[in-house]
Structure 1
Amino acid sequence: MIELHSRETNVEVNGVPENKSENINIMIKQLGEVVSCPISDSDILSCSRVRKLDDKSDRPRAIIVKLPSSKTRDELLAAVTKYNKGKQNSEKLNSELLGYGGKKNAVFVSEHLPPFYKALHAETRKVARDIGIKYVWIRNGRILTRKDDTAPAKQIKCYESLKHL
């Protein structure tokens, strides 16, 4: 729980190509512009790329952004979700929209989870896909699922919970 609390104002951005001369602050502000959630310099307390869990992976390193409050974090996450689901946008958030040339990569923005919860979330998504659960999401560090639009949400706290989906 302490690990979750220390990350409650952070977001994790995945899929952004790495560049030796990159300025992550500018890229984060561009992300805010794209999703209609302006981010100022004072909103970015810190941001940096973090080491990969799997060194052999060819995916770019994730970017962790520390924001001033969980309210700011939630506004950004809501704006990204709204952008990706918006009918006016022909495509979801991607590296081209953030000013990167070359191959277009999907960009994902999520809550910054500790390693255990990150792995549990990945496994939950996999199990959900296999058994036909429609929704899996994270809210305030909690992993939640919903079978369909009318079913109640269920919280996933451990791997054992996955057997009861």
Structure 2
Amino acid sequence: MVGTCEACKEHISVTVKRIKCNLCSCMYHSDCVGFTGDSTQARTQWKCPNCVAAARKGGDNSNTPVRVDKLNKIQRSVCDDSDDALSKRDVTKELTDNSKLLCRFENILDSKLKTIKFEIVEELKTTIFAEIKSEIASLSSEFSQLQASYSQLQIENDHLKNDLRVLQERIDASDDQVSDLRAQFGRQQQQARINNLEIVGLPQTSSESPVDLVLKIARHAGVELKQGDIEFAHRVQPQKTITGRPKPIVVKMKNRLCKDNLLSGLKRKKGVCTKDIGIEGTEKKIFVNEHLTPENKQLLKATKTLAQQKAYKYVWVRNCNIFLRKNEESPALNIRLEKDLSKIK
């Protein structure tokens, strides 16, 4: 602001045209006093209406009520019209300026935003790509470590497989050795019983003599057998006790010939029963067999079961060896071990 207009009493803006009286130095709006001159001389020699009136009449009558009133009305009318025109121009100019300013702001803002957006995108790309590359490098390193670990595990696994194979071979060899040893031991045990007989189903009494019972069985079989031909005869405890079944009697002959003769005689007689040797009571069948080891007894039982399933007609024991034959024309099979049962087709 540069002052107050003496005509309209309003403040004079720096953007509004104004004029100064060269006599009284009062400031006026150019529109309020109708000043249109633009030259420097006109402006420096301009006198306000009050000073002009005072100079023309030789005195100042500006304070006359009628004159003052008219002057005030004129000044108010001029000021109102000037204010309206000025306000419209100012508003239009201000709106135009604001619109241009807004456009400039928008352009500048768009430019800045594009720049910022580009920088952000580039920064994100750089950052993300760097992180991805770092992650890929890390994963590649881990994958390489896993490959190395896997290769090491494969090598260790191959070694373990080889060790296991060697160990299995040793176990198989040991099993074969154990089987051979058991077979040798079983054959030795069976060889020690080569002259023995086992009598099953013979009733047991408190006053019996096993040797006398064996001699009675020999007489029934038609075999001449002396007491001296029997080394011993006694009852033994079976592996599995069955209630009501008497203990078997084990007899050891002097030689194999005595044993074979007794078995042959009983075969001709088709067996023996309690009545044949003078035992009273209910007649019961007596079984006289070669004295087999417990393992060979189990093997004989399994052989009989399988032979029945495969329709083999004959199963027998000779000299403590197990044989079987499918029919009269087929060859005899010797079953020494459990694996020999695979021969039965």
Q: Same fold (TM over 0.5)?
A: yes
Q: Could you tell me which residue of structure 1 aligns to residue 336 of structure 2?
A: 157
Q: Could you tell me which residue of structure 1 aligns to residue 223 of structure 2?
A: 37
Q: Does 1:48 align with 2:234?
A: yes
Instruction: Find runs of 4+ consecutive structure 1 residues off by over 6 angstroms.
Output: none
Return the letter of the residue paired with 2:235: R
2:294 to 115, 118, 122: 115
Distance 1:115 1:30, change over 3 A: same
Give TM-score, length-normalised by structure 1: 0.90
Deviation at 1:23, TM superposition (A): 1.2
In structure 2, how many angstroms separate the alpha carbons of the residues matched to 1:148 and 1:60?
A: 35
Q: Does 1:130 align with 2:309?
A: yes
1:94 to 273, 278, 291: 273
Return the letter of the residue paired with 1:26: D
- Deviations 1:37-68 (CA, angstroms, capped at 9, x unpaired): 12211111100001011123432111111101
For structure 1, the residue ranges without an aligned partner over 5 or more in a row are 85-91
In structure 2, how many angstroms separate the alpha carbons of the residues matched to 1:123 and 1:5?
A: 21
1:22 to 204, 208, 214: 208
- Deviations 1:101-146 (CA, angstroms, capped at 9, x unpaired): 2222211111111110011112212222233211111111210001
Q: Does 1:2 align with 2:184?
A: no
Question: Do the aligned partners of 2:199 and 2:287 also contact (CA within 8 Å) in 1?
Answer: yes
State the structure with bigger RCO (CA 8 A, min sep 6), 1 or 2: 1
In structure 1, how many angstroms separate the alpha carbons of the residues matched to 2:201 and 2:239?
A: 15
In structure 1, how many angstroms separate the alpha carbons of the residues matched to 2:275 and 2:309?
A: 31
In structure 2, how many angstroms separate the alpha carbons of the residues matched to 1:24 and 1:141?
A: 22
In structure 2, how many angstroms separate the alpha carbons of the residues matched to 1:105 and 1:46?
A: 24
Aligned to 1:3, the other structure's residue is in SS state: helix
Aligned to 2:272, the other structure's residue is in SS state: coil
Higher-Rg structure is 2
Deviation at 1:164, TM superposition (A): 2.9
1:82 to 263, 268, 280: 268
- Deviations 1:85-116 (CA, angstroms, capped at 9, x unpaired): xxxxxxx4111112212222211111111110
Question: Do the aligned partners of 1:111 and 1:138 also contact (CA within 8 Å) in 2?
Answer: yes
Return the letter of the residue paired with 1:93: V
Question: Do the aligned partners of 1:28 and 1:39 also contact (CA within 8 Å) in 2?
Answer: no
In structure 2, how many angstroms separate the alpha carbons of the residues matched to 1:126 and 1:18?
A: 30
Return the letter of the residue paired with 2:298: A
Give the percent of matched residue pairs that are identical in Structure 1 and Structure 2. Answer: 28
Structure 1 residues 117-126 or 25-34, which shifts more? Answer: 117-126
Deviation at 1:81, TM superposition (A): 1.1
What's the C-alpha RMSD, in Å, of the aligned pairs? 1.3
Question: Do the aligned partners of 2:201 and 2:248 also contact (CA within 8 Å) in 1?
Answer: yes
For structure 2, the residue ranges without an aligned partner over 5 or more in a row are 1-186
Aligned residues: 158
In structure 1, how many angstroms separate the alpha carbons of the residues matched to 2:258 and 2:223?
A: 9
In structure 2, how many angstroms separate the alpha carbons of the residues matched to 1:64 and 1:11?
A: 6
Aligned to 1:45, the other structure's residue is in SS state: strand
